[in-house]
Structure 1
């Protein structure tokens, strides 16, 4: 049985490893915003302007602005171009847009790799404590 969605909800059906998943327009919009934030972060880290990036991939500056705001989800070929310009793996941009815990864990692990062992231990302890506290709060709301 399929879940019920409010009238007018756009549903996209996506296959993933042989399984069907429904993606609402809202989820797609959230994904676009997270991808956009990742693109803006990469562009700023490399001291590029939107105009420079647009010129490199042959689009208007407004297109880059729309990507970064999450107003438009970049097509796959544009994401590949952007990953090459920013010198990052394509999956890093896609993972940044993901709400899946495994993708977020990979991103967190990459951030932890930049720290000393002592700092990693401290951060891991802090994250573990925060997760336990948030889980308790969530459980209390049920």
Structure 2
């Protein structure tokens, strides 16, 4: 059983803020993209309000990530870590992806030996 870090609202808010910042968007720009007020985005990011499903779908579309990746947030499951890494790898060119892939494998092997 996985343990989630923080409440659903907090995790989702942090994920929204992280994805927004990764795209270099302001809260106002994101609000315009999904048709809400800037204060709504602020409430989402603070974890004060849980976005309705339709807004979550819009946010995932704007961020160009799978909905489940946005909703899951941070867990201690390796499969979720792998999905997060995969989404970031998609942003790289093939040469950079290969470099990161080799580095991750090497680091996992080295750290696995230290157990």
Q: Tell me the TM-score normalised to structure 1 length.
A: 0.58
Report the Cα distance in structure 2 between the residues aligned to 1:108 and 1:49, rounded to whole angstroms. 22
Shift of 1:100: 5.8
Q: 1:42 aligns with which of 19, 36, 58?
A: 19
1:40-64 per-position Cα deviation (integer Å, ceiling 9, x unaligned) = 1111111111011112222111110
Q: Which has the higher contact order (CA 8 A, sep 6+)?
A: 2
Larger fraction in helix: 2
Q: Does 1:99 align with 2:83?
A: no
Give unmatched runs, 5+ long, in structure 2.
Answer: 90-96
Report the Cα distance in structure 1 between the residues aligned to 2:88 and 2:113, rounded to whole angstroms. 17
Give unmatched runs, 5+ long, in structure 1.
Answer: 1-26, 133-142
CA RMSD of aligned residues (A): 2.9
Q: Does 1:124 align with 2:114?
A: no
What is residue 93 of structure 2 aligned with on the other side? none
Number of aligned pairs? 103
Structure whose CA Rg is larger:
1
Larger fraction in strand: 1
Report the Cα distance in structure 2 between the residues aligned to 1:124 and 1:109, rounded to whole angstroms. 14
Return structure 1 stretches of 4+ with deviation > 6 angstroms.
Answer: none
Q: 1:81 aligns with which of 49, 58, 62?
A: 58
Q: Tell me the TM-score normalised to structure 2 length.
A: 0.69
